[in-house]
Copies of this chain bind each other. A is one copy, B any other.
């Protein structure tokens, strides 16, 4: 087994097909906001295993075309939504011998945030993709351990919202501070105090003014519009928000 004299010689005789490891896949939890609810995009599986059940968009790595894991995740996202460069980040990996009936398998879980668009209009090819409110996941027949994956992504979302401006990614631009606060509240699943919220966001100088618009609901004082400033995605607050909750 270790008779090779050089790495070149070793590689010449190495055949990756002799190796049989766990199945490995990449799944993406794509979140958005719609009708005052946090929703996740699910597809109904057309093949065994778990045929007919709801699953996160995902699948195997294409070793020919995917340069790295992130590229695989981006491809899965684009296949289902057409969206190309949204917020997309790795959450964690989960692997054991029970999550897939085919045997030991590992999934690398990503999460993505995009402004809402009708699932139907995304692609002709995907008629089975649908936005589901995250609260309803328990009621659905979910494939594999995807309910747990959504939970993991949901937790990450909640945590990061407390010290970043992650929620800007689920809003169409420009947006009002009220809309942004609603986004924060839905992603954190808690109420925030208006003055504190506005002070925090505005003092951080991570938004740029972008005109004015009628208020939510049509009635009332017009609201200032904002777009995220460059680099705002990387802003980290030194304190978490909504501490007393």
Chain A residues engaging chain B, CB cutoff 8 angstroms? 1-2, 4, 7, 10-11, 14, 16-17, 19-24, 46-51, 60-61, 63, 66-69, 90, 92-97, 101-104, 106, 108, 236, 238-240, 243
In the docked arrangement, what's the CA distance between A102 and B16, Å? 7
Q: Are B94 and A7 in contact (CB under 8 A)?
A: no
Partner of A22 from the list B2, B24, B236, B239 (CB cut-off 8 Å) is: B24
Partner of A23 from the list B10, B21, B108, B243 (CB cut-off 8 Å) is: B21
Q: Are A21 and B61 in contact (CB under 8 A)?
A: yes
| Complex interface: chain B residues within 8 A of A102 (CB) | 11, 14, 16
In the docked arrangement, what's the CA distance between A104 and B95, Å? 18
Task: Write 20 A-B pairs (CB below 8 A) sorted by A numbering.
Answer: A1-B47, A7-B101, A10-B49, A11-B48, A11-B49, A11-B101, A16-B20, A16-B23, A16-B102, A19-B23, A21-B24, A24-B106, A61-B104, A63-B103, A66-B97, A67-B96, A67-B97, A68-B94, A90-B93, A95-B108
CB A244 to nearest CB in B, in angstroms, measures 9
CB A111 to nearest CB in B, in angstroms, measures 13
| Complex interface: chain B residues within 8 A of A10 (CB) | 48-49
Q: Are A96 and B68 in contact (CB under 8 A)?
A: yes
Q: Are B95 and A7 in contact (CB under 8 A)?
A: no
In the docked arrangement, what's the CA distance between A139 and B224, Å? 54
CB A4 to nearest CB in B, in angstroms, measures 6
In the docked arrangement, what's the CA distance between A20 and B62, Å? 11
Closest to A109 in B: B93
Closest to A52 in B: B7
Closest 9 CB pairs of A and B: A68-B96, A10-B48, A69-B95, A63-B104, A238-B243, A93-B93, A239-B239, A93-B108, A238-B240
